[in-house]
């Protein structure tokens, strides 16, 4: 069997016989010569097949000409032929003169989506949508970003854990929960790995991270919400405050953005028309009450029942930070207890505030982080204050009854980071298979 060569590697080879495999992007079936643009996961190359004619100039129906004439867009084929470097060839400066062409799978001639199809139609045919180089690049970027995150953590002694997604009780509150039958009882899909990340601190792991699915029964139809997404979480012991968590997260993001810029920067610039900007450290930090004053001074009135910023408020504070600091990230700190979970530690100076933060990137929140309350009697009291029954949290509270160090961490949405990094307007563009209130297929 001839070894398959990835198309991206052809330019480094001398002129020789090569074999490539991929799908048919276009066919030009002309009288004297046939051209096929073949694309694989790494790039595209032009295949050329001069037609054979008899003495009267009549085309001889031989192979691979007959096979090419029957090709449809999207068919998967393997081609063997003579590689030739030629600067006159617009597609990569090289082509392959065909010796043979075999069809692995012939595609239906009717293509269900077009380049200008709406996002819902493209999501219906996501596997075809992902053949577009621009869309496929998103997931190579995602791979590089996740690898950089893992490398940062592993190089610093973190332990990767995989927390369960089936839970006997809610992980944060009774809201936004998917319930399901579990033998003779009820289970819940995890809203967060929060409790199990904290258990690792009680177990003495010290520093952990978890990258995995998160489920939210949120009926939102916005461009930045999903019912299932990939969470990027970390938790660390022996912190002095949430500032230690913030420092770790900004270093993590710098490592991730640096890796993406180095490996994919040129291709992102070509296909997305943007430059990846590696953020400088430290990120700006603004207390929430100051952020609200800044937003008000910019002319936006926040119309919310709680004390948080609304989406436009997030965009306004981001615009202020960009104008003032030239930065795309900002930590908002000192969130009130009224809008934070019971397990967030409260400020020593002002018990109405928590030792927590949100991280805003280009006008959208991507992270909530905090120092956690590790004193069991205070945890119980704060749970009751939030309307939770400590008896339903008994297994969680057990983590703190046998000793646990001061600790904190964060949860970050991977797709939101990608969406904002690549300047996309919708989370669905950067999610392999999106799940929302009305989408469970494909």
Binding-site positions read 172, 216, 365, 368, 372, 413-416
207-215 and 228-237 as β-strands: parallel, antiparallel, unpaired? antiparallel
C-alpha span between 101 and 35 (Å, rounded): 12
Q: The sheet that has 285-287: what strands, in order across it? A: 159-160, 207-215, 228-237, 407-413, 364-371, 356-361, 329-333, 285-287
Q: What is the DSSP letter of 350?
A: -
In which residue are the tokens 């068919």 written?
Answer: 75
Pairing of strands 76-85, 94-105: antiparallel
- CA distances to 14, 63, 191, 276 from 84, rounded to whole Å, are 8, 21, 55, 35
Residues in binding site for ATP: 365, 413-416
Binding residue numbers for L-aspartate: 172, 216, 368, 372
Q: Exposed (0-12), middle (13-18) or buried (19+): which is 336, by Cβ within 10 Å? A: middle
Q: Which of 295, 405, 304, 303 is closest to 360 using CA atoms? A: 295
- Quick count: other Cβ atoms within 10 Å of Cβ 262? 13
């Amino acid at each position: 069997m001839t070894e398959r060569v990835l198309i991206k590697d052809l330019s480094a080879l001398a002129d020789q016989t090569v074999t490539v495999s991929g799908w048919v992007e276009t066919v030009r079936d002309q009288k004297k010569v046939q051209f096929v643009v073949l694309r694989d996961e790494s790039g595209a190359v032009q295949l050329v097949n001069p037609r054979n004619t008899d003495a009267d100039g009549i085309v001889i129906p031989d192979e691979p000409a007959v096979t090419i004439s029957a090709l449809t867009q999207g068919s998967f084929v393997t081609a063997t032929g003579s590689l030739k470097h030629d600067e006159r060839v617009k597609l990569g400066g090289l082509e392959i003169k065909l010796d043979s062409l075999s069809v692995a799978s012939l595609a239906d001639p009717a293509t269900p989506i077009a380049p200008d199809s709406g996002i819902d139609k493209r999501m219906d045919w996501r596997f075809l949508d992902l053949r577009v180089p621009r869309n496929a690049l998103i997931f190579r970027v995602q791979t590089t970003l996740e690898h950089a995150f893992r490398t940062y953590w592993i190089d610093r002694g973190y332990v990767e854990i995989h927390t369960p997604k089936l839970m006997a009780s809610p992980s944060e509150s009774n809201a936004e929960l998917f319930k399901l039958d579990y033998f003779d009882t009820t289970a819940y899909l995890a809203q967060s790995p929060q409790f199990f990340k904290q258990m690792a601190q009680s177990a003495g792991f010290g520093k952990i991270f978890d990258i995995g699915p998160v489920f939210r029964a949120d009926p939102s139809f916005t461009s930045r919400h999903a019912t299932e997404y990939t969470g990027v979480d970390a938790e660390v012991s022996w912190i002095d405050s949430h500032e230690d968590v913030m420092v770790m997260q900004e270093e993590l993001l710098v490592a991730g953005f640096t890796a993406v810029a180095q490996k994919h920067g040129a291709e992102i610039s070509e296909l997305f028309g943007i430059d990846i900007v590696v953020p400088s450290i430290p990120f700006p930090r603004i207390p929430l009450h100051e952020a609200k004053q800044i937003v008000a001074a910019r002319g936006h009135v926040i119309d919310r029942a709680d004390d948080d910023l609304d989406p436009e408020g997030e965009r306004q504070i981001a615009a202020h930070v960009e104008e003032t600091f030239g930065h795309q990230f900002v930590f908002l700190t000192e969130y009130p207890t009224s809008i934070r979970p019971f397990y967030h530690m409260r400020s020593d100076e002002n018990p109405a505030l928590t030792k927590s933060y949100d991280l805003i990137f280009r006008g959208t929140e991507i992270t909530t982080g905090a120092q956690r309350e590790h004193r069991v009697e205070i945890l119980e009291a704060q749970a009751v204050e939030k309307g939770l029954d400590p008896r339903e949290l008994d297994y969680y509270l057990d983590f703190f009854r046998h000793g646990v160090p001061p600790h904190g961490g964060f949860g970050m949405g991977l797709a939101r980071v990608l969406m904002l990094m690549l300047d996309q307007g919708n989370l669905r563009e950067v999610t392999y298979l999106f799940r929302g209130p009305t989408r469970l297929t494909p």
